């Protein structure tokens, strides 16, 4: 039982490049979330989804896009990478009202 | 705007000490308060508190919520070096997909 799987684990991008961070879950949870965590800081919500086909913005959505075509997958897209997007990105899932379970994160550096 | 504030931001103690971590919150449509422990990678769930005044306990860790004063504490007794981590507090909403607002975290270092 894998839980929440994020790929890749590490990535270096050049300014202006684009990429997709993958998140897959096998827990059949309806709710999925993307967070970023900057050094020495807590987690900030980028986007979330309460089910397939439904997404909504969190605290810091600018520069990112998401889609949710299936229950299992919730990819996060960076279209034009900027140095300010250097961070560790966490995907999480939950059943509504229950604790969120986190993936191991993607460490992204933009140079 | 929802806000969660943790204190202290960092704490250094010796093995065997007891520590208290604080978390205050202002979250509209508040549902529950959650504590997570973060070592090198993903935050791992410790407690979810929904009702005021009811202590939750797991081994040497315990936590309680005060919904009138809008705060929670996490206690760790007889600390061990393995307790060294960042402890994150988060407020959950009734609406908006049960989204979490996190505090900055408390960096706990337990020295032998």
In chain B, domain spans: 3-111
CA distances from B89 to B18, B67, B93, B97 (A): 19, 15, 14, 18
Which residues of A sit within 8 Å Cβ distance of B?
31, 33, 35, 40-45, 48-50, 56, 58-59, 90, 94, 96-105
| Stretch B12-24: mean pLDDT | 98
CATH code at position A26: 2.60.40.10
> Band of the pLDDT at B102, cuts 50, 70, 90?
very high
Name A76's bridge partners: A21, A66
**Model pLDDT, residue A41:** 84
Question: Are the C-beta atoms of residues B111 and B19 closer than 8 Å to each other?
Answer: no
What CATH fold (topology level) applies to the domain B3-111?
Immunoglobulin-like (2.60.40)
Q: Residue B83: helix, strand or coil by DSSP?
A: helix
Q: Is residue A66 part of a domain?
A: yes
Strands A19-25 and A4-7 come out as antiparallel
| C-beta atoms of B34 and A90 within 8 A | no
Structural domain of A57: 4-98
Tell me the pLDDT tens digit for each residue of A71-107.
Answer: 999 999 998 999 999 999 999 999 988 899 999 999 9
**Model pLDDT, residue B9:** 96
Tell me the pLDDT tens digit for each residue of A30-42.
Answer: 999 999 999 888 8
- Helices then strands, counting H and E runs in chain A, come out as 0, 11
Per CB-CB distance under 8 Å, the chain B contacts of A41 are 104-105
- Nearest residue on chain A to B30, alpha-carbon basis: A97
Tell me how close the Cα of A82 comes to any Cα of chain B, in angstroms.
23
More confident residue, B22 or A39: B22
Per CB-CB distance under 8 Å, the chain B contacts of A45 are 99-101
Length of chain B, in residues: 112
Q: Residue A69: helix, strand or coil by DSSP?
A: coil
Number of domains into which chain A is organized: 1
**Model pLDDT, residue A1:** 59
């Amino acid at each position: 039982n894998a839980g929440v799987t994020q790929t890749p684990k590490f990535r270096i991008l050049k300014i202006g490049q684009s990429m997709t961070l993958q998140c897959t879950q096998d827990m059949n949870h309806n709710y999925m979330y993307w967070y970023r965590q900057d050094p020495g800081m807590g987690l900030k919500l980028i986007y979330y989804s309460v089910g397939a086909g439904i997404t909504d913005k969190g605290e810091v959505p600018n520069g990112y896009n998401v889609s949710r075509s299936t229950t299992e997958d919730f990819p996060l897209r960076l279209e034009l990478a900027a140095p300010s997007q250097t961070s560790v990105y966490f995907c999480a899932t939950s059943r509504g009202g229950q604790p969120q379970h986190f993936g191991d994160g993607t460490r992204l550096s933009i140079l | 705007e929802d806000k969660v504030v943790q204190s202290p931001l960092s704490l250094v103690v010796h093995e065997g000490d007891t520590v208290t971590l604080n978390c205050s919150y202002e979250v509209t449509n508040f549902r529950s308060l959650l504590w997570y422990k973060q070592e090198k990678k993903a935050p791992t769930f410790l407690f979810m508190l929904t009702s005021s005044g009811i202590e939750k306990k797991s081994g040497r860790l315990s936590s309680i919520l005060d919904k009138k004063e809008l705060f929670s504490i996490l206690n760790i007794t007889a600390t061990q070096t393995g307790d060294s981590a960042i402890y994150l507090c988060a407020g959950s909403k009734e609406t908006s997909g049960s989204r979490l607002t996190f505090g900055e975290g408390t960096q706990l270092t337990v020295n032998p």
